[in-house]
Structure 1
Amino acid sequence: MRLISAFLALSILGAFVLAACGSEDDNGGNIADRTINVVATTGMIADAAAVVGGERVKVTGLMGPGVDAHLYKASASDVNALDDADIIFYNGLELEGRMTDIFVRLARSKPTVPVAADIPQDRLREPPEFAGKYDPHVWFDVSLWIYAVRAIEASLSELDPGSADLYKANAEAYIAELEQLDAWVASEIATIPEGSRVLITAHDAFGYFGERYGMEVRGLQGTSTATEAGAGDVQALSDFIAERKIKAIFVESSVPQATIEAVQAAVRAKGHDVAIGGQLFSDAMGQAGTPEGTYLGMVRHNVNTIVQALR
């Protein structure tokens, strides 16, 4: 079984390499005369690309609802999507793990853009366990996500300069919404009593959220879910929750609920009844067609869930 898996992985990687060495215009024709094929890794990036690109783009997202970006492995269908793409957007900061090497190769033949690349380094988190690397979960600070939107606008405008005015207008309108959302999040979190502004989740994805909006954040796992939490991690976190008398902890849509349920059981064994306050969207958004299936709706859902459980 391991040999088969290894063979499949090498075959997929080989297909990506071949795609990167393909012709200059596999989709044919002048790009100004047809819809632009966009591929994005996460739902958050796909949503932003669809908003900025508007009627000029067709966006394919690789990682759907409930998908853990840290553990995601490219499939054969991803090869086809990336090969057909006119432009590719990915988060960067090693969120996509091993796929980052694939994007570097593809950048030799088509625009392949890490949307977090223009965020100032002094605004990036560098968790102790990630010495020398940055926390990739930048979308949890709405003000940082504006940099990603501007990167998408600039890249689409360079690829399709005839529609640059459209991309700029769409981006500016979206950024205005993001600025309003950023202010709303801050005002809502401020309604939680100061001593209760502690956010406990399955993994430490909400560090940027905590820094921006004034919450202490603890995760059972670190900023990546690639390493599983052990019994010692559960006990240490449960000690913290019991000592601080925290009202609620939260599950994540892309992480098995059992991890947080184990923490809840350990806290209860210490004599403190902590509730599960609800489900938060972290590395993936909600289902398409629902409010949580957009970036704006996802953020509002998370904030409403946190405030209702902790206030």
Structure 2
Amino acid sequence: MTLLFLSLAVSTLAGCGGTARNPEAGGKLRITATTGMIADAVSEVGGEFVEVTGLMGPGIDPHLYKASQGDVRKLDDADVIFYNGLHLEGKMGEIFEQMEKSKPVVAVASYLKEEQLITDPSAAGGATHDPHIWFDVKLWMSAVEVIRDTLAEKDPAHADQYQANAEAYLKKMEELDAYAKEQIAAIPANSRILVTAHDAFGYFGRAYGIEVKGLQGINTMSEYGSKDVSELRDFLVENGIKAVFVESSVSTKSIESVIEGARELGHEVKIGGQLFSDAMGDAGTEEGTYLGMVRHNVDTIVKSLK
């Protein structure tokens, strides 16, 4: 689909608008969310009163995602749209601008303060902040509160239920945050270095006390070259790092070239496991939920580095 065709489709659909449900009459709020992490949070807070459609499934890279005509229909059919913001869904900006003319279109990251964000002026795709806020569980709790308040405003008849669901979910997130801090702290200080294909774990590193190195920048739209590979290879060798990690939504080719480079210098590096960065795991698995995904990442990192 060409950009022109998609733009025309967006304009046409946004002008028509879907038929809104009436929650007070028993109809569920129709929610469309971009990432799995957001869709999961909406399902937890909305419970039986929402019908959630997620656009980006397991293994999908939101930085490079291009909306199809079917996605535009799902967005148009929604009563509320939630997306991350901070240029995570960089190629969908025009669509969101069109859709917000007819319905609430909410960036869950837009309510964070400047000092809470990690800044990277050199990032590709027009971004100036790291968008991977879900890897600091405390920050993601703010996103859940945004979802709670938006649902309550759109459907005040069930505001109390949204509040209760959010409180229960936030309590589980508090426990997860404490678990991550305890587990990462158990890794010896000189081994507390997380190396991945792209720099998605900056908030995780800041929140839980682990140094993070990525071959690519915060956005997979950014290119990496032989200089980046050689610099990361040298970092692994000089620091005696034994394990690096691949990501479910990023090709392993880039990190494998770093491992091979280290091997040529006589330093063996293994793949410590697969982490979920920009997408969750398969539906129906623990990793297919936000809480399970973060716990999986923590356990995988600790097992390989401890």
Asked whether the 8 Å contact 1:20–1:106 carries over to 2, the reply is: yes
Q: What's 1:262 paired with?
A: 257
Asked whether the 8 Å contact 1:192–1:307 carries over to 2, the reply is: yes
Q: C-alpha root-mean-square deviation of aligned residues, in Å? A: 1.3
* CA–CA separation in structure 1 for the residues paired with 2:11 and 2:192: 47
Give CA-to-partner distance per residue, 1:121-141, whole Å, 9 cap, x none. Answer: 111000252397111000000
* CA–CA separation in structure 2 for the residues paired with 1:199 and 1:189: 11
Q: What's 1:191 paired with?
A: 186
Q: What's 2:165 paired with?
A: 170
Please, which of 32, 43, 46 is the counterpart of residue 50 of structure 1? 43
Instruction: Give 1:63 deviation, angstroms.
Output: 0.4
* CA–CA separation in structure 1 for the residues paired with 2:22 and 2:294: 38
What SS does the aligned partner of 2:82 have? strand
TM-score by length of 2: 0.96
Asked whether the 8 Å contact 2:22–2:28 carries over to 1, the reply is: no
What SS does the aligned partner of 1:98 have? helix
Q: What's 1:120 paired with?
A: 113
Change (3 A) 1:177 1:29: closer
1:144-163 paired onto structure 2 within 5 Å = 144-163=139-158
* CA–CA separation in structure 2 for the residues paired with 1:192 and 1:205: 20
User: Which consecutive residues of structure 2, in runs of 5 or more, have no partner in the other structure?
Assistant: none
1:10-29 paired onto structure 2 within 5 Å = 10-23=4-17, 26-28=18-20
Instruction: Give 1:28 deviation, angstroms.
Output: 4.7
TM-score by length of 1: 0.95
Asked whether the 8 Å contact 2:21–2:28 carries over to 1, the reply is: no
What SS does the aligned partner of 2:90 have? coil
What SS does the aligned partner of 1:202 have? strand
Q: For this pair of structures, how many residues does the alignment match?
A: 303
Q: What's 2:24 paired with?
A: 32
Please, which of 231, 240, 243 is the counterpart of residue 238 of structure 2? 243
* CA–CA separation in structure 2 for the residues paired with 1:12 and 1:75: 8
Q: What's 2:267 paired with?
A: 272
Q: What's 1:285 paired with?
A: 280
Tell me, yes or no, if structure 1 residue 304 matches structure 2 residue 299.
yes
Instruction: Give 1:30 deviation, angstroms.
Output: 2.5
Q: What's 1:206 paired with?
A: 201
What SS does the aligned partner of 2:186 have? coil
- What is the percentage of aligned positions where both structures have the same residue? 56
